[in-house]
Amino acid sequence: MTEYGVKCTKGLRCRLSQCKITDEGCVALTSALRSNPSHLRHLHLSDNNVGDSGVKLISTVLENPHCKLETLTLSWCKIKDEGCVALTSALRSNPSHLRHLDLSHNNVGDSGVKLISTVLENPHCKLETLKLSQCNMTDEGCVALTSALRSNPSHLRHLDLSDNNVGDSGVKLISTVLENPHCKLKTLKLNWCNFPITDEGCVALTSALRSNPSHLRHLDLSDNNVGDSGVKLISTVLENPHCKLETLKLMRCKITDEGCVALTSALRSNPSHLRHLNLSDNNVGDSGVKLISTVLENPHCELETLELNWCNITDEGCVALTSALRSNPSHLRELSLYGYHVGDSGEKQICKLRDDPHYKLETVSILGWLKNDFI
């Protein structure tokens, strides 16, 4: 079946994203699941007109003690806090099976987040992934969410709060969860906060990660006012030998080569864990790339993906990159340099490495000056 069509596999997975489903379809679906609740593990209903009435129907399945659903995806489904009332009521009565819940791009708001928090604080709740991107959440919702996670910190692994009105005050609240030694959070997404995170929020975040550095694997702070001062703070986490961060995304964070000095110094002292680095759309320039290249040439560096799109890099920066990759060719798999400043000579140097079987470089993405061809 197609990506957005119906997909059922041995009764375990049902994908109905973008299928123009309304609550009428939910009546039939939930009727079937109530008669046979024990097999379905993953249900995807994203981008449908499910609404609160549809969620109420789905909730009658979730509250069934024989229901073993592990993944429920309801992003872009026009859900409000009324739907959250039914959903959370069901999960409180049967909290032990659902592992992944996606309510992104719904008008859940703080009231909805408060309801969801009552599920998270239940010691029998085993939720590992919670996605609340673009849900009109503010610091008020963060208060309830972080209070719940402080009382039951050991299960949630992945938290997405991107594109909400969180800001520095919200980050300070979340940091109180991260510093808890029982917290096992591996992924934290705080990109595109409508009240952008500044170095003030980074102070709280990095303080928490320095006291409990060993669990977080993926951090996304893109589209915030992190700046060089914020990067310097994050670098103090990266240089900690107990830090296991694998993915760091800092797109559009107003970083210059000054921030790169701190970042690369940290990665030179602790180069073996970071696998994916995205610094796209920052004023890094050739000087910043030269600094990053000193990390790449370290034989202990295991970086697999490096994204430097729209970073004002020219052929001069490409020379430093190719020299570093020649001295340490075995790890980098993907290199992205979209932008209008890389010329033919820089492009050719990088692409030679991609085509050489001695190197592990598999994907090179470059858009040269006034060119329309994507490599």
The pLDDT confidence band at residue 4, using thresholds 50, 70 and 90, is: very low
CA 59 to chain centre: 27
Q: What does the pLDDT average to over 75-91?
A: 97
**Distance of alpha carbon 277 from alpha carbon 300, whole angstroms:** 16
Q: Report yes or no: 330 and 358 within 8 Å, Cβ to Cβ.
A: no
> In percent, how much of the chain has pLDDT > 90?
84
pLDDT at 165: 96
The pLDDT confidence band at residue 344, using thresholds 50, 70 and 90, is: confident
Lookup: tokens for 323: 């020299």
Q: Report yes or no: 87 and 59 within 8 Å, Cβ to Cβ.
A: yes
Is pLDDT at 313 greater than 80 in this prediction? yes
Number of alpha carbons in the 13 Å side-chain half-sphere of residue 160: 16
What is the three-state SS of 245-282? CCEEECCCCCCEHHHHHHHHHHHHHCCCCCCEEECCCC
Quickly count: other Cβ atoms within 10 Å of residue 141's Cβ.
Answer: 27
Q: Report yes or no: 139 and 169 within 8 Å, Cβ to Cβ.
A: yes
Mean pLDDT of the chain: 92
* One-letter amino acid of 134: Q
pLDDT tens for 246-273 read 999 999 999 999 999 999 999 999 998 9
Is pLDDT at 27 greater than 70 in this prediction? yes
> In percent, how much of the chain has pLDDT > 70?
94
What is the three-state SS of the chain? CCCCCCEEECCCEEECCCCCCCHHHHHHHHHHHHHCCCCCCEEECCCCCCHHHHHHHHHHHHCCCCCCCCEEECCCCCCCHHHHHHHHHHHHHCCCCCCEEECCCCCCHHHHHHHHHHHHCCCCCCCCEEECCCCCCEHHHHHHHHHHHHHCCCCCCEEECCCCECHHHHHHHHHHHHCCCCCCCCEEECCCCCCCCCHHHHHHHHHHHHHCCCCCCEEECCCCCCHHHHHHHHHHHHCCCCCCCCEEECCCCCCEHHHHHHHHHHHHHCCCCCCEEECCCCECHHHHHHHHHHHHCCCCCCCCEEECCCCCCCHHHHHHHHHHHHHCCCCCCEEECCCCCCCHHHHHHHHHHHHCCCCCCCEEECCCCCCCCCC
CATH class of 1-165: alpha beta
Q: Show me where the domains of the chain are located.
A: 1-165, 308-375
Is pLDDT at 226 greater than 80 in this prediction? yes
Is pLDDT at 12 greater than 60 in this prediction? yes
Q: Report yes or no: 176 and 150 within 8 Å, Cβ to Cβ.
A: yes
The pLDDT confidence band at residue 347, using thresholds 50, 70 and 90, is: confident
Q: What does the pLDDT average to over 219-245?
A: 97
Q: What does the pLDDT average to over 24-41?
A: 92
Q: What does the pLDDT average to over 346-362?
A: 85
Is pLDDT at 370 greater than 50 in this prediction? no
pLDDT tens for 105-143 read 999 999 999 999 999 999 999 999 999 999 999 999 999
Q: CB within 8 A of 49, min separation 6: which ones?
A: 20, 21, 22, 23, 77, 78
Q: What does the pLDDT average to over 164-189?
A: 96
**What is the model's pTM?**
0.92
CA-to-CA dists, residue 121 to 94, 128, 240, 264, angstroms? 14, 13, 31, 39
